[in-house]
Structures are given as structure tokens and as C-alpha cells.
């Protein structure tokens, strides 16, 4: 007797059917016009704006609490601005670009045309469920692709709302949204996409890349890692502390580019601790009951962070809680002193409101400390000396950099966003996103006259020898 397929098998079957439907639809229209792509972007922006109150509410409900202002600033604003930026420049990006033809190959012309890849898969994390879904979607649509999104099971209300919203804008053969647990996510990664973008933890990124490799699917991996902040020997501590505090407290530290630890000159540690305490308490005078302060997403993540604290304390770290903890998983912003590499908080990406402080003697020591570890997604340097800034840029590797700020480089549409090494590979946002989701196809064009016949076999002709003399030198 045959056992009927369960919900899991049914979900995977539906997933595969959706993929094949998108692939067939793409083959029927492999080069959408600029007008069609712009219409997609306009419709998407209008739908997001009309539904923004509901999206904000769903995100807050999924987290337990997240300020509407935080969602508007960190998700809705960069999403809408990114659509507007892309729409304005799309026609120019789509134009074939002329390329030089070498003299030995004349007469001929050359150009690069930017062709849609086909069907693009996007795996979305839970920490910014709107922005990290729509930003890559915009790049993929601008490039003319069909898109399948796998939304996070950790934000069920937002995922369902976004699924319903996108269904009102796009037919399923253009854009489809997949919901489900980790098993569905792995089945999603195994589909033979023409490109796959994953945002999430490095450990999961390895599995995604391994699954994609079976189909030779190219991947863009936006991972994380331990992004350092360096406080220089002479920057005003209140300047550095306030900007680091903003980057660490936004979304309660649940940000892939949040400062993960801060390197401070040995003789400035005490002053930094006090400046940071004042900055945090200005931003969030209290945690409990404060509508501005974001909760940890769920009990599992809250327990993980609590375990990090216990492990650090047990191994000798000094734990400085800057606020009292609150209900509904509102975790205190906390500094950790006297940390070492044996502590989990110094091994794993924290992704929460814990900030280790690592003292250093010379700037070269701080840079050596960073260089000895996996390359981070972001690096932050605080100091106004231009020569020191250049030194840091030239002697460090990271996905992106802010000088005298945190996070803000991610919101710049005219800059690529991506990791390096363990923090990811590939780029998107703006023009780089369009290029990531396009095939740059080189085209050489010749007409009737073909002087290349003069170098065809049989070899040994005098003209061939002249060509060698003229061009191989």
C-alpha cells in the first residue's frame, strides 16, 4: 500500500513545480523590455508603500517588539530608496557597452550586452525580513529575471504578509514566495537556479554553497562574522562611543554588520566604557517597557546569548550591564572586559547586544589582531587623522568599511555590498546588483570584408610573418 505524501513532500513537490513554471515562462520571454522592468519596480514600490503599516506591525509582532521608527528607518527607507535609485538608472544599465577591438582583428566592432540569467533564488534571513528580501529582488527584477524567494520561518507573520503582498503585484511565474522550515530551505538551495543569493550565518552558507555546487549554480553569499570597531588613540571618545552604540543597539545588535567587538587603546579603556555607558543610556534610558528597544527574536536566540554571557563570566570576563534587562526578551546592552579567545563570545558572531572590549597598545597591534582572524563583513575605524585612515584601509581586509561611523555604508545604493572570505562572496545593491544578476555577454561583430582570411592556413606565408613581426613584440 502506497503512503500518501506528507506535508513536507508536498511542499517540495510544489517548490519544484514552481521552479519549472518560472523556467518555462522565462524561455518564452527571455529579454523583458526596459518598460516592463520599470513597471515591475513601480508596482512593487506602490504596493510596499500602501502596505507599510501592516508590514511594520507584522515585523514588530514577530520580534515581540520592534519600534515602527526602527523598521521605517532600517528597512522601509533603504528599500524604497533602492527601488527609486534603480528605476532612474535602469535604461542606462541595460544599454550595450562598446568595447575596443584590437588592430589585428579589424575591421570589426565589439560590445557587451547584459542578458537576464533566468530564474534567481533568494534565501532571506529573519533579522531584516523586508529589506533583505526586497533589496536583492529589486536587483534581480531590474536585470530581467524571474525570482523565487525563500522567506524565514522565524518571522511567520511578516513572511505571510510579504507573500500575500507580492502575489498581488506579480504572477507566480514572475515572482513566487516559498515558506517552510529548514528542510524546505535545503530543497530550495538544491534547485538548479541560474543564480542563488543567500543571506545568513556562515555555517549555513557552507551548506547552501555545497548544495548549489551540485548544479554549478553561481552563488552570492552575504554572511557575517565578527566585524571590529577600532577606536584610535586621539579620537574624542564621546564621538566614537555614540556612533558605535548606535550601530550596536539598532535592532538590539541583530544586524550582520553590527560592531561585534571594539579595539580600544589600553590607556583609554576606562574612558571608553564610561562614554559608551552614557551613549547607550541617552539612546535607551530604560529597556523594560521602552517601545524604542527591540526584543531578541525568539527564546532560542535569547538563550544562545545568555549562554555566551555565562560562558564569558565563568572564564573570567568582567560583565558590565549598561541597562537592566526587561520582559519580552529585551536583553540589556552589555560590555565585556578581560575577554580572551577561549570564550564563545570571541569565537562566534554575537548577533545581539553584547560588546567585548579588546585593549591594544599600537594601531599595528590592532590591525594584526584583526588580520589573524577570518575576514569580517564590515570594519569600523574611528579617528580623524587622514594618514591613519589610509593606513587602516591599506592594511585590512573586510567586505566594507565605515570611517567614523557604523552601518551606513550598507544604505548607499551607489556602492557594492558584499563580504570577503568567511564573511561572504559576491556583491549586490545598485549597479553591482544589476551586474550580479546579469550575464555580461561579449559580442564580436564582423561584416562581409574578412581580411583574417590572409592568416588562415596553410601557414608560412610572408604576410603571416609580417603580422608576427608587427604585433608580437
Question: What are the catalytic residues?
Answer: 222, 256
d(CA 343, CA 340): 6
**H or E segment at 135?**
helix 131-142
d(CA 237, CA 278): 11
The answer to whether 430 and 415 have CB atoms below 8 angstroms apart is: yes
Strand order in the sheet with 97-99: 97-99, 109-116, 438-445
Give ∠ CA 94-97-99 in degrees, rounded to 5. 165
C-alpha neighbours within 13 Å on the C-beta side of residue 81:
13
The answer to whether 131 and 75 have CB atoms below 8 angstroms apart is: yes
d(CA 207, CA 189): 9
d(CA 255, CA 271): 26
The answer to whether 357 and 337 have CB atoms below 8 angstroms apart is: yes
DSSP at 425: E
First to last CA, the chain: 77
d(CA 378, CA 400): 5
Q: Which residues of 129-148 are buried (b: 16+ CB within 10 A; e: fewer)?
A: bbbbbbbbbbbbbbbbbbbb
Amino acid at each position: 500500500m502506497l503512503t500518501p505524501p506528507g506535508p513536507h513532500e508536498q511542499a517540495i513537490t510544489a517548490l519544484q513545480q514552481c521552479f519549472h513554471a518560472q523556467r518555462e515562462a522565462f524561455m518564452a520571454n527571455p529579454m523583458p523590455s526596459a518598460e516592463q522592468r520599470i513597471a515591475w519596480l513601480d508596482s512593487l514600490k506602490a504596493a510596499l508603500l500602501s502596505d507599510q503599516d501592516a508590514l511594520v506591525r507584522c515585523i514588530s509582532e514577530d520580534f515581540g517588539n520592534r519600534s515602527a521608527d526602527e523598521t521605517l528607518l532600517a528597512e522601509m527607507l533603504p528599500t524604497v530608496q533602492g527601488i527609486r535609485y534603480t528605476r532612474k538608472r535602469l535604461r542606462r544599465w541595460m544599454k550595450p557597452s562598446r568595447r575596443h577591438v584590437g588592430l589585428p582583428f579589424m575591421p570589426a566592432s565589439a560590445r557587451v550586452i547584459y542578458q537576464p540569467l533566468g530564474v534567481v533564488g533568494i534565501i532571506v534571513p529573519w533579522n531584516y525580513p523586508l529589506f533583505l528580501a526586497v533589496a536583492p529582488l529589486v536587483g534581480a527584477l531590474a536585470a530581467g529575471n524571474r525570482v523565487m524567494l525563500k522567506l524565514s520561518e522565524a518571522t511567520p507573520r511578516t513572511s505571510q504578509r510579504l507573500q500575500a503582498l507580492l502575489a498581488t503585484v506579480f504572477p507566480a511565474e514572475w515572482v513566487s514566495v516559498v515558506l517552510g522550515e529548514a528542510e524546505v530551505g535545503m530543497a530550495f538551495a538544491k534547485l538548479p537556479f541560474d543564480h542563488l543569493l543567500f543571506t545568513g550565518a556562515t555555517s549555513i552558507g557552507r551548506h547552501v554553497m555545497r548544495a548549489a555546487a551540485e548544479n554549478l549554480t553561481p552563488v552570492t553569499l552575504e554572511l557575517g562574522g565578527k566585524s571590529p570597531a577600532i577606536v584610535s588613540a586621539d579620537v574624542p571618545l564621546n564621538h566614537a562611543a555614540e556612533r558605535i552604540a548606535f550601530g550596536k543597539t539598532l535592532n538590539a545588535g541583530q544586524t550582520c554588520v553590527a560592531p561585534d567587538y571594539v579595539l580600544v587603546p589600553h590607556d583609554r579603556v576606562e574612558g571608553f566604557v564610561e562614554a559608551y555607558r552614557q551613549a547607550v543610556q541617552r539612546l535607551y534610558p530604560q529597556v523594560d517597557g521602552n517601545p524604542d528597544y527591540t526584543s531578541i527574536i525568539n527564546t532560542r536566540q535569547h538563550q544562545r546569548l545568555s549562554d555566551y554571557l555565562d560562558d564569558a563570566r565563568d572564564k573570567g570576563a568582567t560583565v558590565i550591564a549598561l541597562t537592566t534587562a526587561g520582559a519580552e526578551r529585551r536583553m540589556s546592552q552589555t560590555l565585556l572586559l578581560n575577554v580572551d579567545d577561549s570564550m564563545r563570545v570571541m569565537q562566534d558572531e554575537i548577533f545581539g547586544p553584547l560588546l567585548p572590549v579588546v585593549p591594544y597598545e599600537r594601531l599595528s597591534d590592532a590591525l594584526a589582531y584583526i588580520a589573524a582572524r577570518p575576514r569580517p563583513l564590515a570594519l569600523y575605524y574611528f579617528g580623524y587623522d587622514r594618514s591613519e585612515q589610509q593606513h587602516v584601509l591599506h592594511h585590512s581586509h573586510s567586505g566594507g568599511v565605515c570611517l567614523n561611523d557604523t552601518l551606513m555604508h550598507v544604505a548607499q545604493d551607489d556602492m557594492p555590498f558584499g563580504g570577503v572570505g568567511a564573511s561572504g562572496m559576491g556583491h549586490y545593491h545598485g549597479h553591482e546588483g544589476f551586474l550580479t544578476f546579469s550575464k555580461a555577454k561579449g559580442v564580436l561583430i564582423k561584416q562581409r570584408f574578412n581580411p583574417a582570411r590572409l592568416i588562415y592556413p596553410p601557414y608560412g606565408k610572408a604576410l603571416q610573418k609580417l603580422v608576427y613581426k608587427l604585433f608580437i613584440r
